[in-house]
Structure 1
């Protein structure tokens, strides 16, 4: 069973299109398969609105694409829905518009300027007016996990010892502690992002493909055959092994 997966995008539309080109080249050689995007479509990068529109348009046109929800996507949705929203996974001393989170860049991509320098209420009102309802509906409808064969796709990870069907949304989009240090077999091979690395890594029981696009690094796409994982490059597949 073949699948493709793409790591955390964070508003880098140009990088996303390049990874889709690599997937198209690989599919021409090996056959088509679903593409799973692991979430964090928005924040920090320059064209968050463009990323969402591109994914919506592709799915509407019949592309076999699946998009999962990341913590940044939920923070964006929650902000638009409620001026007082604070995501339960986020430290209490931070807000989505804090420079560490990147929400200002997301709003700028929708034409809401200087969001980090103006009073909060007018910024929120401008954001609600600027973000199309179709984008809000798309984000609200994102899944938090997906299974294909022996592979479990999530944004952040899973809670070890908890059954796949019993995982909570907050763990699936936020978890680090407990998951990243757990060496045991999860049954499924977990393919995830959320925790940025210099390069994708295979740990035996999980594969992290967040290669730090949010911080100037590359965006990663992989092909998965059964439980084998291959990094996609312009020169072709490179095996990614524990």
Structure 2
């Protein structure tokens, strides 16, 4: 059975208008969408976080209605900061950390209604020879031993050296100064700083069939 193409979507950060623009070419194509995390925070438009979340939930609830094979959403560090801010016994500094990184208290009621959705977000997805993750991986560490914090937060040494895993890592989290896609043999970085640059990147990848394709983690 042929695996569907995957469309990886970089850090949206509440850019609802850009998301709609970038989604349009991929609807009704039979592809799977994989959002690389950081759907929220730093939105440059009014109510952007809510609009992005509601659109993603709409697609995820019934992908076939939009001509999609599926919709996978990975956890980014901003989703994790929101979860920390919502924790019942959260220290004040966790709320401050989220707020200082673009979080807005007006999102909290909606987020609390969907807290279980945020809590179940996976941190990795394997499709063929591609590993999808928000931030990256720790070089020299097997995938099953990667730390949760590294998967959603790491920059160096991941950005500066080969990771040694048998996958091409497709990630967001860090954008280049020129807001271009970072393409290297071992990784593809598709965060293009949408909330600053006005460019949200989607990357369509052909996934060859794999007899023992990995599951989400």
Q: Give the TM interval when normalised to the shorter protein.
A: 0.7 to 0.9
| Cα distance, 1:6 vs structure 2 | 0.3
The question of 1:80 aligning with 2:86 is answered yes
- Given that 1:5 and 1:38 are in contact with CA atoms closer than 8 Å, whether structure 2 keeps it comes out as yes
Alignment of 1:18-167 (within 5 A): 18-24=21-27, 27=29, 32-45=30-43, 46=45, 47-63=48-64, 64-82=70-88, 83-84=90-91, 95-98=97-100, 101-104=101-104, 107-108=105-106, 110=107, 127=108, 130-167=109-146
1:5 equivalent to 2:11? Answer: no
Shift of 1:62: 3.3
- Structure 1 residue 86: Cα displacement: 5.0
Match of 2:189 among 208, 211, 216: 208
Structure 2: which 5+ runs fail to align? 65-69, 209-217
The offset of 1:84, in angstroms, is 0.9
Q: In the alignment, is the contact (CA less than 8 A) between 1:36 and 1:66 conserved in 2?
A: yes
Q: Does the aligned pair in 1 maintain the 2:132–2:171 contact within 8 Å?
A: yes
Q: CA RMSD in A?
A: 2.0
Q: Residues of 2 paired with 1:86 and 1:157: CA distance?
A: 25
- Displacement of 1:219 in angstroms is 0.4
Runs (5+) with no aligned partner, structure 1: 88-93, 111-126, 228-242
Shift of 1:186: 2.4
Cα distance between partner residues in 2 of 1:69 and 1:136: 13
Q: Please state how far the C-alpha of 1:216 moved relative to its aligned partner.
A: 3.3
Q: Map Cα deviations across residues 199-222 of structure 1 (whole Å, 9 max, x no partner).
A: 112111000000101323310001
How far did 1:166 drift? 1.8
- TM-score norm. by structure 1 comes to 0.74
* 1:37-94 deviation line (CA, Å, top 9, x unaligned): 000011100311221121112111235100000001100111011441656xxxxxx7
Alignment length, in residue pairs?
193
> Is 1:187–2:147 an aligned residue pair?
no
Q: Deviations over 1:189-239 (max 9, x none)?
A: 000000012111211100000010132331000111248xxxxxxxxxxxx
SS in 2 for 1:65: strand
2:201 equivalent in structure 1: 220
Q: Secondary structure at the match of 2:63?
A: coil
Structure 1 runs of 4+ aligned residues shifted over 4 Å read none
